[in-house]
Structure 1
Amino acid sequence: MGYAFRCADDSGHNLSITGGEMVDVREVLRLAVSLAESEDIIQMHKFESNDSWIVTPEECREIARLLGGREGEYVVSEYCNFVDGVSDGLLGNIRDLAELSARAVDHGGIRVY
């Protein structure tokens, strides 16, 4: 089962992640949320299935903040220190999710398929 992330207004911005890769992406996001104490902003259940969830613009703003730039690199590094067999494209997927999230703030959020 793979995941497709699209801006909610169908503006053409999207991202696809395989199910195997999504395991690591989800856990890095979970770690970032935990470290930043952002549990009240980001609803993690939206990343546990591809059931057409809407990640709100507010959640997208926080995801972009948590995963963009050096913050994202730090969280990926911390995750890799404790997990074996991390997907090769993890940092790229995290950067892509942060970029899509930043764009989605002005496009109604992200729909998770």
Structure 2
Amino acid sequence: NPVAKAINYMFEKDGRWEAFTRFLDDGRLCLSNNAAEHALRGIALGRKAWLFAGSQRGGERAAFMYSLIVSAKMNDIDPQAWLADVLARMPSLPVSRLPELLPWNWSAGSARQVAA
């Protein structure tokens, strides 16, 4: 029976059952990995298109931009609005203030205040 095999697998080695039930003690842990798989779906769907980034440097730029966009999403920010604001504000900001534009420091309210 496949269910019996799965249960036996959980008890074969020390630590598997404790690792499996850890979510019961820590409410921050999720029972499934659906969120991680969903986050990786875009990468899996786009990998054929990204094979030809033009060069090593082009691939590095694409990875950098993708990480910034995902960071914006993780901070509950619309990536398109954030990127449009950042690209508009970057030329007028001194380099020392660029960290203000990172997704975890950026807010839509501050973007409207600067625009006004």
**TM bracket, shorter-chain basis:** under 0.3
Higher strand share: 1
Larger radius of gyration: 2
TM normalised by structure 2 equals 0.27
TM normalised by structure 1 equals 0.27
